[in-house]
């Protein structure tokens, strides 16, 4: 199969930004997948960071309607940036193309991805109905 035939079938996006959009959409799907069931974190030294994220999300949910979208974003964004390794997530999403980006492009992409993640959380965690988010410890 030729490269052009592969591109027509969607294997190789002809437009590099199409690949980035697909990667971001994939990441968004993973993030949204978190909302389909209980959230658990494996025991690790970052348990406090995860619990901090959960606490911020619950607080935002409880005040969701009064805060509005931009207020929820303002509260959630700094917590997301502290709790998640946005740069590493962006690097994994972009894949091999990351190596060809300049440092400025990498920083811009990571910054944009962080804002995008925060906006998704602000949109989805908009109201409270008794939900509980907790870090659980399992032994195995």
Short-list 62, 56, 63, CA closest to 118: 56
Is the predicted pLDDT of residue 65 greater than 80, yes or no? yes
Percent of the chain exceeding pLDDT 90 equals 36
Q: Judge contact between 106 and 87, C-beta under 8 A.
A: yes
Percent of the chain exceeding pLDDT 70 equals 65
Query: What's the rounded Cα separation, in Å, for the pair 121 and 53?
Result: 11
Query: What's the rounded Cα separation, in Å, for the pair 33 and 120?
Result: 12
pTM of the model as a whole? 0.61
3-class secondary-structure state, position 131:
coil
Task: State the pLDDT at residue 48.
Answer: 76
Identify the band that residue 20 occupies on the pLDDT scale cut at 50, 70 and 90. low
Q: What is the mean pLDDT of residues 1-8?
A: 49
Distance from the first to the final alpha carbon of the chain: 47
Task: State the pLDDT at residue 54.
Answer: 87
Is the predicted pLDDT of residue 39 greater than 60, yes or no? no
Is the predicted pLDDT of residue 41 greater than 50, yes or no? no
Task: State the pLDDT at residue 42.
Answer: 45
């Amino acid at each position: 199969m030729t490269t052009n035939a592969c591109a027509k079938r969607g294997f190789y996006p002809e437009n590099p930004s199409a690949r980035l959009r697909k990667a971001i959409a994939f990441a968004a799907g993973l993030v949204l997948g978190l909302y389909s069931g209980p959230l658990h974190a494996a025991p690790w030294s970052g348990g406090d960071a995860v619990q901090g994220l959960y606490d911020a999300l619950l607080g935002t949910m409880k005040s969701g309607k009064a805060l509005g979208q931009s207020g929820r974003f303002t509260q959630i964004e700094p917590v997301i940036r502290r709790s998640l390794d946005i740069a590493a997530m962006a690097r994994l999403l972009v894949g091999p193309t990351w190596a060809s980006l300049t440092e400025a492009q990498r920083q811009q992409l990571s910054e944009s991805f962080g804002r995008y993640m925060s906006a998704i959380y602000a949109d989805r965690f908009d109201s409270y109905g008794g939900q509980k988010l907790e870090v659980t410890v399992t032994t195995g």
